[in-house]
């Protein structure tokens, strides 16, 4: 008897998800606790493991379907058996039984297309829906493509590269006609250079949620951004001087983010409104600092939370950030990792951004934007010197935070970074 696999609990207040990808196909053997499907929620992707070892007998939902918590997702049998799935491909030979054209009468073009389709369908184990669609569209053989994705998986770019290489090869008929000087019996199809294409792809649930929340922030909050710049010489010198000792003692690299988190914690003590939120007609102040750190993940931006960051050491902050970054790339972040947060730090500098106006993450009231470090000429004691400078941007909800408070908060951060001793003596 087959074992039912149901949609697991996905987190507080989350009642449904979207089937993002089937990691196992009907007929594939599965081990106990081995992921068979990936579900997309509003914030993260969740793998659904098989409760037993056996063979995947049925996929009850298709990729892109919305499924509720507790709904039947798949069936796993104890051994080999008859596999069933909605919209299952028809077995070979059905056309002949139904009076359709026999394979021996098919022309070579149709046969080649059928072979390409069969090859694409047989590669379901490693092809995502988007890649499978590209394989069918371009008629390439996925078994001859070397995947550059995670675990050697074939990506859409790999398929497009293979199709481009295929199109670039001159066809034998064309070469023969050119050699013989013969004339074509039909008009030649001319491929226009710079051919334009369009592709329509449904937004992932994560991207839909990001779009909704960002627009909600713009529609609800009175957004304003203030800027400052900071001389990073002192931080860079301290990091260069102690990074080897730090790594040896704590087993983690000393980065810039821990300095910024500590500086935010220090500045928030002087300007508590930056670490507060509006709830109905009340202002809720926090005596703790939970910092949401924007991290780039394969399917979009996620913001895991460093809890009680104001009580953490440099090493604890760096360890938390490294762990979140690794799990974001692997797609293993959980809902609990991103719940809450009282303030956000976004580092666009890692992508080369010089300046930006970040958008707050509701119900938070402020977000600090970091940018790339760039050597610039500045005046120091009446002389022009070259310094490693970084622009800082603080976007805030003007309904709660006044301009004076926003500027003061950013100045406190600037002072702490230009003189890191302040972080140690709480000044």
CB 346 within 8 A of CB 358: yes
DSSP string covering 198-214, please? ----PPPHHHHHHHHHH
Helices 129-138 and 108-122: crossing angle, nearest 10°? 170
CA gyration radius, the chain: 28
Judge whether 398 counts as a catalytic residue: yes
Name every residue whose Cβ is closer than 8 Å to that of residue 8 and which is 6 or more positions away in sequence: 46, 48, 69
Burial letters 48-74, b for 16+ CB under 10 A, else e: bebeeebbbbbbbbebeeebeeeeebb
Question: Given 94, 114, 244, 402, which residue is catalytic?
Answer: 402
Cis peptide bond N-terminal to 363, omega within 30: yes
Question: Measuring CA to CA, how many Å separate 233 from each of 167, 168, 230, 373?
Answer: 53, 52, 9, 10
**8-state DSSP, 27:** T
Question: Given 94, 157, 270, 398, which residue is catalytic?
Answer: 398
Angstrom distance (rounded) from CA 145 to CA 134: 13
Angstrom distance (rounded) from CA 308 to CA 341: 10
Name every residue whose Cβ is closer than 8 Å to that of residue 261 and which is 6 or more positions away in sequence: 291, 306, 309, 312, 317, 345
How many CB atoms are closer than 10 A to CB 343? 26
CB 49 within 8 A of CB 35: yes
Tokens 């909050």 identify what position?
Answer: 221
Among 323, 333, 301, 341, residue whose Cα is nearest residue 257: 323
DSSP string covering 244-280, please? HHHHHHHSS---SHHHHHHHHHHHHHH-GGGG-EEET
Question: Measuring CA to CA, how many Å separate 345 from each of 186, 295, 308?
Answer: 63, 10, 15
Please identify every residue annotated as catalytic.
398, 402
């Amino acid at each position: 008897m087959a074992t039912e696999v149901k949609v697991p609990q996905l987190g507080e207040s989350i009642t449904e998800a979207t089937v993002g990808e089937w990691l196992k196909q009907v007929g594939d053997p599965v081990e106990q606790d081995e992921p068979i499907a990936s579900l997309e929620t509003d914030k993260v992707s969740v793998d659904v493991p098989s409760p037993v070892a056996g063979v995947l007998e049925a996929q009850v939902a298709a990729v892109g379907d919305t499924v509720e918590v507790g709904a039947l997702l798949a069936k796993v049998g104890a051994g080999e058996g008859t596999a069933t799935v909605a919209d299952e491909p028809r077995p070979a030979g059905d056309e002949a039984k139904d009076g359709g054209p026999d394979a021996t009468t098919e022309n070579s073009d149709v046969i080649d297309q059928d072979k390409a389709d069969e090859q694409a369908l047989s590669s379901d184990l490693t092809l995502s829906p988007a890649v499978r669609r590209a394989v069918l569209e371009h008629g390439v053989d996925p078994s001859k493509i070397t995947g550059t994705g995670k675990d050697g998986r074939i990506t859409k770019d790999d398929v497009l590269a293979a199709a481009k290489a295929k199109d670039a090869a001159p066809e034998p008929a064309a070469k023969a006609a050119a050699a013989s000087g013969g004339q074509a019996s039909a008009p030649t199809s001319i491929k226009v250079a710079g051919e334009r294409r369009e592709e329509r792809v449904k937004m992932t649930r994560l991207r839909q949620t990001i779009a909704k929340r960002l627009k909600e922030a713009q529609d609800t909050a009175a957004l304003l951004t203030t800027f400052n710049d900071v001389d990073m010489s002192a931080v860079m010198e301290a990091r260069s001087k102690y990074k080897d000792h730090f790594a040896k003692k704590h087993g983690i690299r000393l980065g810039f983010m821990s300095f910024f988190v500590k500086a935010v914690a220090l500045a928030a003590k002087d300007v508590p409104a930056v670490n507060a939120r509006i709830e109905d007609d009340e202002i809720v102040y926090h005596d703790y600092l939970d910092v949401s750190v924007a991290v780039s993940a394969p399917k979009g931006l996620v913001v895991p939370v460093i809890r009680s960051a104001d009580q953490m050491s440099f090493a604890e902050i760096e360890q938390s950030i490294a762990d979140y970054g690794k799990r974001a790339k692997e797609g293993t972040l959980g809902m609990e990792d991103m719940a809450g947060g009282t303030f956000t730090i976004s580092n666009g500098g890692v992508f080369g951004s010089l300046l930006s106006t970040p958008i707050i993450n509701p119900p938070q009231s402020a977000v600090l934007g970091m940018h790339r470090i760039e050597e610039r000429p500045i005046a120091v004691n009446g002389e022009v010197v070259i310094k490693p400078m970084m622009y800082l941007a603080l976007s805030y909800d003007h309904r709660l935070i006044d301009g004076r408070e926003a500027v003061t908060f950013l100045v406190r951060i600037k002072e702490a970074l230009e003189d890191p001793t302040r972080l140690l003596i709480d000044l």
